Amino acid sequence: MDTYLLHVSKLDFGYDASHLLYKNFSLTLKKGEVKAIVGASGSGKTTLFELILGNLKPLHGEIRVSKLSQVFQDPYSSFHPNYSVINQIEDVASLDEIDKYLQVMNLDAKLLKKLPHELSGGQLQRASIIRALLMKPDLLLLDEPTSALDNVIQLDVMQMLISQLNTIGILLITHDSDLASWCADEIIEIG
């Protein structure tokens, strides 16, 4: 797939054919790039991720994507409530580099042996980011990845994610215009 990790071309999509969220929308992303999608609630930011993930089908256009992993805004919705966090990470990824990420994320390994509801939202979100990175994606889709974190941890997490750009590209949904300005090579306004 040429040099792009993500190639969205002439995308048309709407839940109602008379009101399109996307009309002739195009987007490309390469390794080493961070692009931020910003817009008001209901403008179609998360819908774009659903289209990229293949959970929704465009009316027209094409989406080509390399190996990806994603981090959702609500970490509790991305973990099964009845299995330990570590088991759910092991199901999809090797644990070879987990200690490195635990240290950077300031997360105790013992926490991962617990069920998701036994962790705070911030702890579980950091575990979700670790799981996504351990999956060794080419493209990382981040939907408000730091909204559950305090300011100091937000900065640490974003600096760690930016440090991964030698191997990945990042597409970020955020309401935080300061964050988008700080980290993104391009900011794409939706809606």
pLDDT in tens, 64-92: 999 999 999 899 999 999 999 999 999 99
Q: In CATH, what number is assigned to the domain containing residue 68?
A: 3.40.50.300
pLDDT of residue 1: 43
What does the mean pLDDT of the chain come to?
A: 93
pLDDT of residue 162: 94
Q: Determine, yes or no, domain membership for 56.
A: yes
Q: Determine, yes or no, domain membership for 67.
A: yes
Which residues form the domain of 178? Answer: 4-80+138-189
Q: Is 67 exposed, middle or buried (0-12, 13-18, 19+ CB in 10 A)?
A: exposed
Between 152 and 27, residue with greater pLDDT: 27
Q: Determine, yes or no, domain membership for 89.
A: no
Q: Determine, yes or no, domain membership for 127.
A: no
Place of tokens 């190996």: 67
Q: How many domains does the structure of the chain reveal?
A: 1
- Token pair, residue 184, equals 């993104």
Q: Determine, yes or no, domain membership for 70.
A: yes
Q: Determine, yes or no, domain membership for 113.
A: no
Per-residue pLDDT tens digits for 115-129? 999 999 999 999 999
CB 7 within 8 A of CB 155: no
pLDDT of residue 59: 95
Helix (H), strand (E) at residue 55: none
Q: Determine, yes or no, domain membership for 157.
A: yes
Cα–Cα nearest to 170, from 74, 180, 24, 1: 180
Is a pLDDT exceeding 60 seen at residue 150?
Answer: yes
Q: Determine, yes or no, domain membership for 170.
A: yes
Task: Tell me how far apart the alpha carbons of residues 189 and 191 are, in angstroms, rounded to a whole number.
Answer: 7
